[in-house]
């Protein structure tokens, strides 16, 4: 139990390095405003230079009508999310946002389905799609600290197992 807490702590420490917003983001019910929020998100994204890293996230969720599997990948080529293996939304490094294959721009609403607000809610609150710009030096240090703490916990657990075995054998 203790070991998994250390691993989780290491993952949280790494995740906190992204320039993300804390707390739940309230997504409006207005389709045009949801599109504008998604376009603004895409316009604010910053991606690492070619080959600098990748962030991947996979979730599953269920709503009233269906069960969904979502995979998002974000790297120097942008952010791309699929839902049930079908393109869902993406943002390119030159800030072109697509939703279900359609390019979205400010103040548009025609031709976009009513699912856009729930997509924005999932993107901002469940998928944590945020900027990937980070300081590689800090990231290496945080990963190193996490691994050190993890292996310290494993060593302590091995000592406890050894003591338990000695007690059982005596």
> Which residue, 21, 10, 51, is CA-closest to 140?
10
Give the residue carrying structure tokens 């080529």.
77
Range from 13-22, 50-59, 147-156 carrying the lowest mean pLDDT: 13-22
In the 3-class helix/strand/coil scheme, how is the chain assigned residue by residue? CHHHHHHHHHHHHHHCCCCCCCCCCCCCCCHHHHHHHHHHHHHHCCCCCCCCCEEEEEEEEECCCCEEEEEEEEECCEEEEEECCEEEEEECCCCCEEECCEEECCCCCCCCCCCHHHHHHHHHHHCCCCCCCCCHHHHHHHHHHHHHHHHHHHHHHHHHHHHHHHHHHC
How far does Cα 139 stand from its chain's mean position?
16
The domain limits of the chain are 31-135
The pTM is what? 0.61
Mean pLDDT of 19-36: 69
> Which residue, 128, 143, 140, is CA-closest to 11?
143
- Residues of the chain with pLDDT > 90, as a percent, come to 32
Q: What is the pLDDT of residues 46-91, one digit of tens each?
A: 877 776 667 788 888 888 889 999 999 888 888 999 999 999 999 9
Mean pLDDT of 116-124: 87
**Helix or strand or coil: residue 24?**
coil
Identify the pLDDT of residue 90. 94
Got the DSSP string for 97-124? Answer: EEETTEEE-TT--TT--TTHHHHHHIII
Identify the pLDDT of residue 100. 95
Identify the pLDDT of residue 140. 67
Range from 9-18, 26-35, 44-53, 137-146 carrying the lowest mean pLDDT: 9-18
Q: What is the mean pLDDT of the chain?
A: 77
Cβ neighbours around 17 below 10 Å, total: 15
């Amino acid at each position: 139990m203790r070991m998994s807490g250390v691993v989780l702590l290491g993952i949280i420490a790494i995740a906190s390095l992204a320039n993300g917003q804390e707390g739940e983001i309230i997504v409006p019910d207005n389709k045009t405003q949801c599109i504008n929020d998604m376009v603004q998100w895409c316009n604010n994204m910053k991606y690492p230079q070619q080959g600098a890293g990748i962030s991947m996230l996979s979730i599953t969720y269920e709503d009233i009508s269906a069960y969904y599997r979502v995979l998002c990948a974000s790297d120097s080529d942008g952010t791309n999310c699929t839902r049930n293996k079908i393109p869902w939304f993406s943002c390119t490094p030159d800030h072109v946002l697509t939703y279900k294959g359609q390019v979205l721009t400010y103040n548009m609403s025609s031709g976009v389905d009513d699912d856009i607000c729930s997509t924005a809610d999932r993107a901002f609150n469940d998928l944590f799609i945020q900027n990937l710009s980070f300081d590689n030096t800090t990231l290496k240090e945080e990963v190193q600290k996490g691994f050190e703490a993890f292996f310290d916990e494993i060593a302590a657990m091995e000592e406890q197992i050894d003591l338990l075995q000695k007690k059982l054998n005596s």
